[in-house]
Structure 1
Amino acid sequence: MSDTDIVDELFAVIEDRKERLPEDSYTASLFTHEKGENAVLEKLGEEMTELILAAKDGDDDEIAHESADIVYHLLVLLAMHDMTVGDLREELEKRR
């Protein structure tokens, strides 16, 4: 599976959770919780701090782990704003 495919697949799962809101889903809880967006923003800040510390320590496994957490929460934030991975790609292409 290519990198693009896994990001698209993850975003599709996030969108599905947003639509169906299964009770046992952490992702769905972010869309139903009154402070959902604040929770996502707090998680992004927390994960970014953890990424910085992992990088400072030279811990490549932890860098990968924290980076994945950041990407996940970023995708949730995009979904909350009715944006897509395509919007992100478009902006990245503009900057290339």
Structure 2
Amino acid sequence: MKENVLDRLDKILKERKSEDSKNSYVKQLFDKGSIEIIKKIREECEELIEAAEEVNFDKKNKLIHEAADLCFHIMVLLSSEGITSKEVLAELEERFGISGIEEKNQRNNLSGE
């Protein structure tokens, strides 16, 4: 069975984290640490928002491109913290079928709010 793109990305990120390559953008991000990765995520969020605000013929393609950039950098951050896409997808699966209000109330009950 063919690996999905998130599984392949998880594998590549794990490899980049442990390799000693100065030619890898991902390795450079890992070496800079979480704070720098978070700064990059903020930048990518802003670019996605700007693309969403644009009114032009290529808006859809630009949104797809910027969303992919944001997802990629989120995956880099998660990988730097030892979290895989499978774990995030499992969390989403667990929430499926539960209303957002109900899920928020469950979290508040667990935290004592």
Which band: TM-score by shorter chain? 0.7 to 0.9
- Equivalent position of 2:87 in the other structure: 87
What percent of counterpart residues are identical? Answer: 33
- Equivalent position of 1:57 in the other structure: 54
- Equivalent position of 1:18 in the other structure: 17
Q: Which structure: greater helix fraction?
A: 1
Offset of residue 40 of structure 1: 1.0
Offset of residue 78 of structure 1: 0.9
Return the TM-score normalized by structure 2: 0.74
SS of equivalent residue, structure 2 residue 9: helix
Q: For this pair of structures, how many residues does the alignment match? A: 92
- Equivalent position of 2:27 in the other structure: 28
After superposition, give the CA deviation of every residue in 1:61-94 in whole Å (9 maximum; x if it has no partner).
1111111111111111111111111110111011
2:45 is equivalent to residue 48 of structure 1: yes
Offset of residue 30 of structure 1: 1.4
Return the TM-score normalized by structure 1: 0.86
Offset of residue 21 of structure 1: 3.2
SS of equivalent residue, structure 1 residue 62: helix
1-structure distance, mates of 2:30, 2:54: 34
SS of equivalent residue, structure 1 residue 30: helix
After superposition, give the CA deviation of every residue in 1:26-72 in whole Å (9 maximum; x if it has no partner).
10011222xx2111111111111111111121511111111111111
Cα RMSD (Å) of the superposition? 1.6
**Unmatched 5+ stretches in structure 1:** none
Residue identity matched to 2:72: Y
Alignment of 1:59-78 (within 5 A): 59-78=59-78
Higher-Rg member (1/2): 2
